[in-house]
């Protein structure tokens, strides 16, 4: 059940067109659905503000289709499927309209919402090899209603590339900085801007990078304040967190436009 449906139920109670008992029944009805192989959480958006996302890796096309249909039947307008294989995407497309992005392995069901965040999320990469993770972060953020600005291949081996786009970084509400190798990009960006920086270590680099562990340790030991770190290659987690930051109210007294007076 999404927030708008919940608000409609509460508005109907206020108007007297729905009894308290009827409203309670609607709110309690099927907080999750047992499909046998999965239990889609229909109250995720009601609790957390963001509806359930399907993690596609390890699931069959039949399972992904079943979960997606269950979410759609309960009114979820946009369904994000991460780590989805091309083969499974083609199979799901036979049953449900799905847009598949092959590089980040993301499938999206439904139209992307109009941006409704406070400002812009900037997604930056150290190199071109980081783009698959960056696109996972960018598409996640867009599916959650954010304006995204992509700035790719601005690693510190050519610092002038980053500095030439400094106006974009300084105008951001939150920045996702993605890098492999030694993973220094988030620290550099963090020392230049006044917004939160989410660091994403990537499993790109030569042997001693240890599949992203070297970048992870560098980012955890960043000397720049305001830098947080997600797991290796976790573009989804970074995009999700960036969206949460970008949807925080500026002032405690500010009300949401959907709040019932």
Q: Per residue in 195-204, pLDDT tens? A: 999 999 999 9
Q: Where are the domains of the chain?
A: 1-30, 34-109, 120-246
* Domain formed by 120-246, architecture: 3-Layer(aba) Sandwich (3.40)
Q: What was the pLDDT predicted at 168? A: 94
User: Strand pairing of 99-101 and 106-109?
Assistant: antiparallel
* Residue 20 pLDDT > 90: no
175: β partners: 122, 197
Q: Per residue in 151-181, pLDDT tens? A: 999 988 889 999 999 999 999 999 999 999 9
Q: Per residue in 36-85, pLDDT tens? A: 777 777 777 777 777 888 899 999 999 999 999 888 887 788 999 999 99
Output the CA torsion 10→15→20→24 (10° steps): -30
pTM over the 0.85 mark: no
The alpha carbon dihedral of 172, 178, 179, 182 has a sign of: positive
Tell the burial category of 121 from Cβ atoms under 10 Å away from its Cβ (0-12, 13-18, 19+).
buried
Q: What was the pLDDT predicted at 72? A: 86
DSSP codes, 234-247: -HHHHHHHHHHHHT
Q: What was the pLDDT predicted at 28? A: 59
82: β partners: 55
């Amino acid at each position: 059940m999404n927030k708008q449906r919940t608000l409609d139920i509460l508005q109907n109670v206020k108007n007297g067109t729905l009894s308290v008992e009827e409203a309670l029944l609607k709110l309690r009805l099927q907080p999750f659905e047992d499909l046998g192989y999965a239990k889609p959480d229909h109250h995720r958006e009601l609790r957390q503000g963001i509806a359930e996302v399907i993690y596609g890796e390890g699931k069959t096309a039949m399972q992904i289709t079943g979960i997606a249909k269950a979410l759609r039947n309960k009114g979820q307008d946009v369904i994000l499927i991460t780590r989805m294989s091309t083969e499974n995407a083609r199979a799901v497309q036979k049953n449900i309209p799905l847009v598949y992005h092959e590089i980040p392995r993301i499938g999206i069901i439904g139209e992307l919402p109009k941006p409704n965040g406070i400002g812009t999320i900037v997604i930056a990469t150290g190199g071109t090899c980081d783009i698959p993770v960056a696109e996972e972060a960018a598409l996640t953020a867009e599916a959650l209603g954010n304006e995204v600005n992509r700035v790719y291949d601005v690693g510190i081996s050519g610092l002038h590339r980053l500095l030439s786009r400094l106006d974009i970084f300084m105008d951001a509400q939150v920045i996702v900085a993605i890098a492999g190798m030694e993973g220094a990009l988030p620290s550099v960006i963090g020392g230049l801007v006044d917004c939160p920086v989410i660091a994403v270590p990537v499993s790109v680099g030569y042997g001693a990078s240890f599949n992203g562990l070297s970048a992870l340790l560098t980012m955890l030991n960043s000397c720049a304040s305001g830098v947080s770190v997600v797991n290796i290659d976790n573009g989804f987690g970074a995009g999700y967190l960036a969206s949460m930051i970008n949807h925080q109210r500026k002032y405690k007294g500010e009300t949401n436009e959907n709040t019932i007076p």
